[in-house]
Amino acid sequence: MMQQPIASHFVDGAYLEDTSGTKIDVIYPGTGAKIATVYSATPAVIDAALNSAARAQKTWAALSGTQRGQVLLRAAELIRADNYALSVLETYDTGKPLQETLVADATSGAEALAYFGGLAASITGEYIPLADGDFVYTSREPIGVCAGIGAWNYPTQIACWKAAPALACGNALVFKPSEMTPLCALKIAEIMMEAGAPAGLFNVIQGLGDVGATLASDSRVDKVSLTGSVPTGRKVYSSAAAHMKHVTMELGGKSPILIFDDADIEAAVGGAILGNFYSSGQVCSNGTRVFVQKGIKDAFLARLKERLKGVVMGDPLDEAVNFGPMVSERQAEIVEGYIARGMAGGATLFAGGSRNGFTIAPTVFTDVTDDMVIAKEEIFGPVMAVLDFETEEEGLRRANATEFGLSAAVFTRDLARGHRVAAALEAGTCWINTYNLAPVEAPFGGVKASGVGRENSKEAIHHYTQVKSVYVAAGGVDAPY
């Protein structure tokens, strides 16, 4: 049961402890039991991490792209080989069912490392011909030392989604996991070393928000990549701005799913289930505002109720369990609070609503209106709000009436409408007839308050490099005097 790591931090190629930092108890959400203790990074640990990252970055950037890529590809293989143990650890860290973590977490991290490992040798500049034989060439240079700050819902995946493009481009990374889920990233750091990364290239330091804030404002950090909530994003973005640091902000959402009368009902119900209840609803891109056209609403709800009978709750380590607890008691309380506000606000509780330990049953509200709190705020728990609409224009207008813009989906059998609606939805990622698939090949990120920049895909290269232009003159210099 105990999952005590060798030490709290992984810095300069080795585990590092400093028990004078604030003590952080690590709780297994499946039982509420304490499974480890780590200590928040002290200024000395932060210094060691940033200084070793700066050293390692120079060595690493001097390698060829192919050489860097080989290390990432090896790390991907090591993660795949260790998938079972890493998945069990992910379940201890987050409480997500093993049934999910076996296929979604370490595997997704390995895919990111393999993808960017393959891409590393192709990160090149341009040749730009000019008049009279002059020309410009550009190079994509690393930014330097990057800080990654993670949320608690996907600790392995977030560490890898940030490390893979950052390292492929020749940067070093200092990663701070959420204080709720400190264990997984340490294993990724071990694996990076085993794969051949120089000591200090990928450091992990623990801490609460204040350690993240220190990283965001330290002048030795050249870029900050945050996965977190919009309020934290605003703070980190503004302190990064003071130093003109680069940023990637992957923030929250309240994404809409538009289900039209002509939709394949099984696909629509499946999409709504995936987009609300996977990882017990703790997914940034979740489609928590489900707009169902009036003609299909009764059939949709009937089928949803039927399929919710397939939910299996229990110990997340039991592979038969397909629905786990919230990450923490506090998060369970927050979600419970939203359920109470949903009922007080006049919505109808159609399914769920109960709590057992840290687990909140999959909850569906109907008769939800746009002005209700449960239709406006990100809950980050298994709470689906079902709203209805009549026309495409109305559905789109209401779907877009939010400060967020992470994701959106449309379910329809009408090909033209699918593309038209996807084009009009204000979101960084849109799905047609599916939900929440985020392959590494596709850019991922938000518009509006949901973020800045993109993770994954070739697009991420732009966010982990800076471009240098070199002007080469073929003739003499034509000065006026």
- Please state the closest distance from residue 403 (CB atom) to ligand NDP, in A: 13
Q: Is 142 a binder of ligand NDP (CB under 6 A)?
A: no
For ligand NDP, the closer CB: 159 or 296:
159
Positive or negative CA dihedral for 281, 352, 231, 185? Answer: negative
CA neighbor of 216 nearest in space, from 226, 228, 202: 226
Catalytic residue set: 250
d(CA 184, CA 10): 12
Q: Is 406 a binder of ligand NDP (CB under 6 A)?
A: yes
Q: Is 208 a binder of ligand NDP (CB under 6 A)?
A: yes
- Please state the closest distance from residue 179 (CB atom) to ligand NDP, in A: 3
Applying CB under 6 A, which of residues 97, 165, 212, 275 lies at the interface with ligand NDP?
212
- Please state the closest distance from residue 229 (CB atom) to ligand NDP, in A: 3
Name residues contacting ligand NDP, limited to 449-468 (CB under 6 A): 451
CA dihedral 73, 56, 193, 179 (to 10 degrees): -100
Size of the site for ligand NDP (CB under 6 A): 29
x/- binding map, residues 416-455, to ligand NDP, per CB under 6 A?
A: ------------------------------x----x----
Question: Which residue carries 């490390």 as its tokens?
Answer: 163
- Please state the closest distance from residue 282 (CB atom) to ligand NDP, in A: 7
- Please state the closest distance from residue 134 (CB atom) to ligand NDP, in A: 43
3 state DSSP class of 116:
helix
Which of the stretches 58-66, 228-236, 271-279, 463-471 binds ligand NDP when contact is defined by CB under 6 A? 228-236
For ligand NDP, the closer CB: 241 or 344:
241
Name residues contacting ligand NDP, limited to 173-202 (CB under 6 A): 176, 178-180
On whether the CB atoms of residues 34 and 26 are closer than 8 A, the answer is: yes
For ligand NDP, the closer CB: 136 or 447:
447
For ligand NDP, the closer CB: 78 or 249:
249
H-run or E-run covering 213: helix 209-217
Which of the stretches 60-68, 231-239, 290-298, 300-308 binds ligand NDP when contact is defined by CB under 6 A? 231-239
- Please state the closest distance from residue 48 (CB atom) to ligand NDP, in A: 19
- Nearest residue to ligand NDP by CB is 212
CA neighbor of 177 nearest in space, from 219, 217, 149: 149
Applying CB under 6 A, which of residues 146, 164, 257, 284 lies at the interface with ligand NDP?
284
The HSE-up count of residue 68 (CA atoms within 13 Å, CB side) is: 29
For residue 303, the tally of other CB atoms under 10 A from its CB is: 17
d(CA 9, CA 462): 30
Q: Is 216 a binder of ligand NDP (CB under 6 A)?
A: yes
> Angle CA(338)–CA(344)–CA(347) in degrees, nearest 5?
85
Q: Is 380 a binder of ligand NDP (CB under 6 A)?
A: yes
d(CA 39, CA 19): 6
For ligand NDP, the closer CB: 23 or 468:
23
Q: Is 274 a binder of ligand NDP (CB under 6 A)?
A: no
d(CA 166, CA 398): 37
Beta bridge partners of 105: none
d(CA 368, CA 387): 5
Applying CB under 6 A, which of residues 220, 235, 307, 419 lies at the interface with ligand NDP?
235
H-run or E-run covering 435: none
Name residues contacting ligand NDP, limited to 241-270 (CB under 6 A): 250-252
DSSP structure string for 126-186: -EEE-GGG-EEEEEEEE--EEEEE--SS-HHHHHHHHHHHHHHTT-EEEEE--TT--SHHH
Residues forming the site for ligand NDP (CB under 6 A): 149-153, 176, 178-180, 208-209, 212-213, 216, 227-229, 232, 235-236, 250-252, 284, 378, 380, 406, 446, 451
